[in-house]
Structure 1
Amino acid sequence: MTTLHIVDDDEAIRDALGWLFQSRSVPVAGWASAREFLDAWTAETAGCLLLDIRMEGMSGLELFDRLRAQGCRLPVIFLTGHGDVPSAVSALKKGARDFVEKPFNDNDLVDRVIEALAFDAEQRAREAGQAGVAARIASLTQRERQVMELVVAGRLNKVIADELGISMRTVEVHRSHVFEKMRVKTAVELTRLLTSAG
C-alpha cells in the first residue's frame, strides 16, 4: 500500500503531521527514529518518505544515504530548519525529491507529498509492467524471438522466411505463437509494447 512514512524523533511533530495528512486522506505511518524505519524497510515498501534532517542518533541524511546504498528508490522529502538548507541541497543532488523549510505551509507540504506518492505509484506500475513483458519474452523459444525481432523490424513473412531459411507457413505459426504469448493482436501493438517496456 502507498503510504507516507514520517520519520521524526519529535513525537509532537510526528502526531501533528500525521493528523494533517490523515485529514487529506493520505495513509500515514510514523517512525520515531531513522534506525526504526531502516530496520523495517524492505524493497516492497511503497510510498514516500518525509524525513527530518536532524535527529538524535542517525540523522535524516545518514538514513537517506543508507537507504540509497541498499537500493531504496522511495521519493524522499526532507524537512529542514533554516541552517540545514545547504545539506538539503546536497541531498537533492544525490537524488532526494524535495525539501521543505520549517515553518512550512501545510497545503504546500501536502501537495508535494501527494505528487511524490503519485510518482512512486507510477514508477512501480511501470516496473511491474516491464517485469511482466520481460516474463512474456522469456517464455518465447529462440526461434520465436528471432521471428519477433524481424516482425518488429517491419519485415514481411516472406522476407523473414528467406532470412531464417524456413517456410512461410512456419513463420506464420511462430508469428501466431509470438502474438499469443506476448498478448497482442498486431505487429503495431507488439512494437508499442516492447517500446514502452524499454
Structure 2
Amino acid sequence: MHPQAGLDNQHPTSSKDCPNVFLIDDHAAVRDSLDCLLRLNGYSVQQFSSAEAFLEIERYLKSGVVLADLRLPKMNGLEMIEQIVSRRSDLHTIVLTAHGDVDAAVSALRLGAKDFIHKPYEQDELMGAISRQFEELACMQNRAKNQAEARAKIICLTSREREVAERLSDGLSNKEIAQDLNISVRTVEMHRARTMERLGVRNLAQLVAIMIRAGEAA
C-alpha cells in the first residue's frame, strides 16, 4: 500500500526537519483548530479521522507524537494505543479526554500512553506536554545511537579481549580475571591494553562506560 493511503489531511511544511505530530480526532473542526495551533508552533501535522486510518499507514510514519482523542468511532483510543505501543517505541501518544474520562485516561497510561490532557485544554499546557514528549524521544534516540556506536566498537574485539573487558566492567581486578580465565596476570594486562586501544579509551572508567552503553536497552 502506498504510504499516503488513509491520510485524511496533510499540508506542506516549510522544513522537512519539523517534528511530526499525528492528530487523530473524528471532528474535522477540532482537527483543523489543533492543526493551526501546532503549525504555528513549528510542528509538521498529519490529520486522521479514525484510529483505523492512522494504523493503516503507521508503519510508514516517522518518529513523532500522536495526539489522539480517546473517543473515536469503531476502534477506540485505548485499542489504538495498545497497537501503537506493541509496534512503535518511537511514537509517543498523548490522549485528549473529557473530564468524565479519568478512568479511561488512567487506562491509557497503563497501556503505554505518555500523558493525557483534559478538554477544554489550555494551549500552554498542551504545547508543554508535546514538547516534553519530543525531549523524551530525542533522549531515547540519542541512547540508541550511543548503544549502536558502543556495540560497533566491541565487535572489533577478539573473543578473549571481550572476556577481559566484560570482567573489567564487572569490577574484577587483573589478578581476579587471570584466575577466572586461567591465564597469567601479564596476559590479562596485555589484553587489557589492546582492548583499551581498540575501543579508543584512555582509562578503565571509559572502558566500563562503553560496555554499559553497549548493554543498555534502546
- Shorter chain as normaliser: what TM range? 0.7 to 0.9
1:177 aligns with 2:194: yes
Shift of 1:27: 2.9
Shift of 1:180: 3.5
Most deviating of 142-151 and 97-106: 142-151
Residue of structure 2 aligned with 1:89, choices 106, 110, 113: 106
Residue 4 of structure 2 corresponds to which residue in structure 1? none
Provide the C-alpha distance between the structure 1 equivalents of 2:59 and 2:155, rounded to a whole number of angstroms.
Answer: 27
Letter of the structure 1 residue corresponding to residue 39 of structure 2: Q
Residue 41 of structure 2 corresponds to which residue in structure 1? 24
Residue 3 of structure 1 corresponds to which residue in structure 2? 20
Q: Is the 8 A contact 1:100 1:109 kept in 2?
A: yes
The Cα offsets for residues 114-163 of structure 1, whole Å up to 9 and x where unpaired, read as 0011111111211222233233323322101122134332524x665565
Residue 165 of structure 1 corresponds to which residue in structure 2? 183
Q: Which runs of 5+ in 1 are unaligned?
A: none
Provide the C-alpha distance between the structure 2 equivalents of 1:183 and 1:34, rounded to a whole number of angstroms.
Answer: 48
1:49 aligns with 2:66: yes
Alignment of 1:48-127 (within 5 A): 48-72=65-89, 74-127=91-144
Q: How many residues align?
A: 196
Q: Is the 8 A contact 1:43 1:72 kept in 2?
A: no
Provide the C-alpha distance between the structure 2 equivalents of 1:71 and 1:140, rounded to a whole number of angstroms.
Answer: 32
Letter of the structure 1 residue corresponding to residue 210 of structure 2: L
Letter of the structure 1 residue corresponding to residue 111 of structure 2: K
Provide the C-alpha distance between the structure 1 equivalents of 2:57 and 2:201, rounded to a whole number of angstroms.
Answer: 40
Most deviating of 88-97 and 38-47: 38-47
For the aligned residue pairs, the C-alpha RMSD in angstroms reads: 2.6
